[in-house]
Structure 1
């Protein structure tokens, strides 16, 4: 299970849908739940960019929705 404190460093809150679920292995695959760290250098850069949004959790949720929509359109 992901400790919220690690993702909280990026400004993500656990209100409603958990940021760990959106960024984790079943979501965008940006967060390594075992290592409690970004999944790679590109993931770290994207999480850092999202953390600069006025509402990082909302920005992450919207990115997740865009990726899901693109996946449905491709299928």
Structure 2
């Protein structure tokens, strides 16, 4: 989550800098912006996967607890 926040901040700062520099430097900043966008997408995909695995694990734990409870009864 922190990596995503930091990347979004860097993206916005870079976008602001694009408006303030000369044409030569702007090209470099646009390349940086594309790299930041790809990095954000990667971090968000990893975040989604972690959340999905956590949800699946929680369901499996509840199912295991329910099985144990039914065996005790």
The question of a shared fold, defined as TM-score above 0.5 by the shorter chain, is answered with no
Higher strand residue share: 1
User: What's the TM-score, normalizing by structure 2?
Assistant: 0.34
Q: State which structure, 1 or 2, has the greater radius of gyration over its C-alpha atoms.
A: 2
Structure with larger RCO (C-alpha < 8 A, sep 6+): 2
